[in-house]
Structure formats: C-alpha cells, structure tokens
Structure 1
Amino acid sequence: MSGTILFGRDEELAAVDELVDELPGRGSALLIRGAPGIGKSSLLDHAVIRAWNSGFIVLEASGVQIEAHLPFAGLHQLTRTMTDRVSHLPPT
C-alpha cells in the first residue's frame, strides 16, 4: 500500500500518526467529520496505510443508512470474515 500526499493537512496527519504510533499500548479514537469533499476519506486511508505498514491487521466497515436500525451491524461487518477463528478465542 502506498500513501497519498495530503496538502495542508499536516496537523490532521500528525494526529492520525500519533494515534497509530501509540498502538497497541494505548487505544483511542479519532472522529473525522466535515463537509463532503474535504478529504475525510483520504485521512482514513492514511490511517489504514500507516497501521498496515506498522504491522497491524486492519478491518474496515462502512455505515449505511438502511442498516441504522440494526444493532451491531458495523460489528458484524468487521467480524463476519473471521468466524473461522472463533474456536481460537480464550474462554470467557
């Protein structure tokens, strides 16, 4: 995976890089919001590439309006491809 250069986004890129660099020792979240076309998806792509290049497995999900009423729809998207690994989970 290769990165895209995002002009004028040094502060945002630094925030994304800091979050990824602190993994796995510290988890956190970052909310990226704004008007259409300002580069939110590009910032998310940068985070994915940074994490991937740091050796992490990256899972992605996309929220869609029609699934808003379904509990855990996003979690299902993230985990549906990993059901074959359930037997390797530690007991509760």
Structure 2
Amino acid sequence: ALAGRPLPPGLAAGRGALLLVRPEQVVLAAPKDALFALTVDETVFRGGAWWVVGRLADGQEVAAELRSHGLSELRPGAVLDCTLTGGWLMAADKAG
C-alpha cells in the first residue's frame, strides 16, 4: 500500500523493487528546485488520480501519485522535475 492506499491493479505487476514515495508529498518542481528527475515509463489513471511509473537517474523505479492536470498527455521518455515536501521514502518489493 502507498500512504494507506493499495497500488492500482497492474501498476507493479511483473516489476522488481519499487521505490514508493508518499504520494501527497511528491510535487512537480521548477528545475532549479528539483530533488530528482523522473523519466516516465507509463501513466495510469486509477481511483480518480494519475499514477506515474518511471525511473530515477540510477535506474531505480518510482511509482507516485501526482496531482496535476496534463499528466494524461505525458509520453514515455518525458522527464519530470520533482521534489518532496517532506515525508519519507520506503523501499519495497513488488509483493509488498
């Protein structure tokens, strides 16, 4: 589960370890303020929210819920500048 909510069905299917980011604390940022860049692999609309699955520069996968209009137009390979407003990062395997 991510912040008390299960991952959308199929989001992590067949994947290895995911870096789960507390979703309400991931925000899009100006490049100068970004803590990390997320290269988009796919976007999924589930439960009334957009979920982005992508990779950090080191190849680590990230699944995060981002509340922003326009995410439906993201294409694989797009790069999002992101930052955290607080909270925590948690490593988990795909069964977790």
Name the TM-score, length of structure 1 as normaliser: 0.29
Higher helix residue share: 1
Larger-Rg structure: 1
Higher relative contact order (CA 8 A, sep 6+): 2
